[in-house]
Amino acid sequence: MTTGEVELRRGLKDVYLDRTEVSFIDGQLGKLLYRGYNIHDLAEHCSFEEVISLLLYGKLPTKDQLNQTLSFCASNRAVPAPVLQIVEMVKQAHPMDVLRTAVSALSAFDPAVEDNSLDALRHKGMRVTGQAATIVAAHFRIRRGLTPVAPHPTLNHAANFLYMLYGKEPDPDEARLMDVDFILHAEHSSNASAFAARVTASTLSDLHSAIVTGIGTLKGPLHGGAAESVMKMALEIGKPANAERYVKELLDSGGRVMGFGHRVYKAEDPRATHLRERARRLGEKRGHPEWYLILENVEKAMEPYRRRGIYPNVDFYAGAIYHLLAIPEDLFVPIFTLGRIPGWTVQVLEQLEHNVIIRPLLQYVGPMDLPFVPLEERG
Ligand code: CMC
């Protein structure tokens, strides 16, 4: 350790941590690939389970392999009763805090908790993905005084999540919308929560711990929590005509427009492209085009910021979609989590493939070698 000159990269900006074969981001072009496949193709043509299989096994699945993933996921969604009791006990907390607590508790019931073999990690990743949806939906119902709905035996992750929220099979278009939303959120290289999950895994801790780390990190408004802040902003704006003035006042007072900007993308986030169009169509279908129009006007007011590489990110239109699906704002970041657990899992797999403990340095700039003062002499 030195107290002399060092190269400091605050926030680890532009620092490469390792190599990856999972996702590629070209921030200048606004391009995102999972395992070499363009996110636009995956969002148009795949299901979330296909993407889980692609991420965890490295290849697009055959029909048989996809059926195996679907059936493994569908039969591993149940949550042990004591974990639901914990949800009941902490039900007044933010759903993200409830989810973090409950996923931590799941480890007590997972027979493979300490097994870090490749297959055990894949299976635990898929199991926790499904169980997390059961926890979020159970909490949604418990805090409304309703009985949780048991997972559906055959529906996919997205349709089953909506089914467990509302207790009825969802409209197929809306289930597909949620499916695409999960695909778009599934993986994003070394973002803050995936990096945090890797740090935990690098100590040879277990996958549940890494996922709990990821949940705690994703919650913040500079990361996954932004979708919740975007919808709060849209509600405050109230109508499309108010958007321009609202944005100006926010920026003039030094605030940030949530759902804009990205550490890597300096062009349009390709995930926002899909969500924008889907938010527009859902608003029309549900007879509430105003949320889309408010966000569209915020986007127009932010146009001058494009010169500085500040564009809408994945969180900007996601909130409007969830709102139109009658999902409360504090569930937005848990929903991001339900899509992202496979991403954290594959990052942990890669970290463990050639592990080295992640332990960077901090440059010490405090005082040195102070004379010790006994307690009774301190004034
Ligand atoms: N509104 C207004 N100005 C902004 C915004 C914004 N949303 N984002 C960045 N800027 C400005 C910022 O003020 C700074 O200006 P200056 O150079 O004059 O000080 C400049 O752009 C660079 O910003 P930064 O904070 O140094 O950039 P960063 O790479 O450290 O931060 C970010 C990236 C995502 C934290 C930031 O853009 C932000 O706070 N955005 C709003 C929160 C948000 O939408 N988060 C979701 C990110 S995408 C989903 C996810 O991965 O979680």
Tens digits of residue pLDDT in 112-161: 999 999 999 999 999 999 999 999 999 999 999 999 999 999 999 999 99
| pLDDT band for position 36 (cuts 50, 70, 90) | very high
What number is the average pLDDT over the span 55-69?
A: 98
**330 catalytic, yes or no?**
no
Residues 6+ apart with CB under 8 A from 99: 132, 135, 136, 139, 215, 334, 337
> What token pair was written down for 289?
């085009």
Q: How far is the CA of 178 from the centre of ligand 1 (A)?
A: 26
Q: How far is the CA of 10 from the centre of ligand 1 (A)?
A: 14
Is the pLDDT at 379 greater than 90, yes or no? no
Is the pLDDT at 26 greater than 90, yes or no? yes
pLDDT value for 2: 66
What number is the average pLDDT over the span 184-208?
A: 98
* Closest atom of ligand 1 relative to the 261 alpha carbon: 37
pLDDT value for 84: 98
| Percent of the chain whose predicted confidence (pLDDT) is above 90 | 95
Question: Which residues of the chain form beta strands (DSSP E)?
Answer: 23-26, 31-34, 37-38
CA terminus-to-terminus distance, the chain:
33
Contact 270, 30 (CB under 8 A): yes
Model confidence, pTM: 0.94
For ligand 1, atom 45: residue with the closest CA: 222
Give the number of residues written for the chain: 379
pLDDT value for 355: 97
| pLDDT band for position 79 (cuts 50, 70, 90) | very high
User: In this structure, are strands 37-38 and 23-26 parallel, antiparallel, or unpaired?
Assistant: unpaired
Is the pLDDT at 1 greater than 70, yes or no? no
| pLDDT band for position 226 (cuts 50, 70, 90) | confident
Query: How far is Cα 57 from Cα 363, in angstroms, rounded to an integer?
Result: 40
| pLDDT band for position 3 (cuts 50, 70, 90) | low
Measured at the CA of 153, the angle between CA 178 and CA 46, to 5 degrees, comes to: 35
pLDDT value for 350: 97
Query: How far is Cα 341 from Cα 99, in angstroms, rounded to an integer?
Result: 12
Query: How far is Cα 172 from Cα 168, in angstroms, rounded to an integer?
Result: 12
**Candidates 191, 217, 256: which one to mutate for ligand 1, based on the most atoms within 8 Å of Cβ?**
256
**Candidates 229, 262, 336: which one to mutate for ligand 1, based on the most atoms within 8 Å of Cβ?**
262
pLDDT digit string (tens) for 236-247? Answer: 999 999 999 999
pLDDT value for 277: 93
> What token pair was written down for 156?
């996919």
Q: How far is the CA of 261 from the centre of ligand 1 (A)?
A: 5
What number is the average pLDDT over the span 275-294?
A: 94
pLDDT value for 100: 98
What number is the average pLDDT over the span 225-253?
A: 94
pLDDT value for 119: 96
Burial grade of 328 (CB within 10 A; 0-12, 13-18, 19 or more): middle
**315 catalytic, yes or no?**
yes
| pLDDT band for position 225 (cuts 50, 70, 90) | confident
Q: How far is the CA of 256 from the centre of ligand 1 (A)?
A: 7
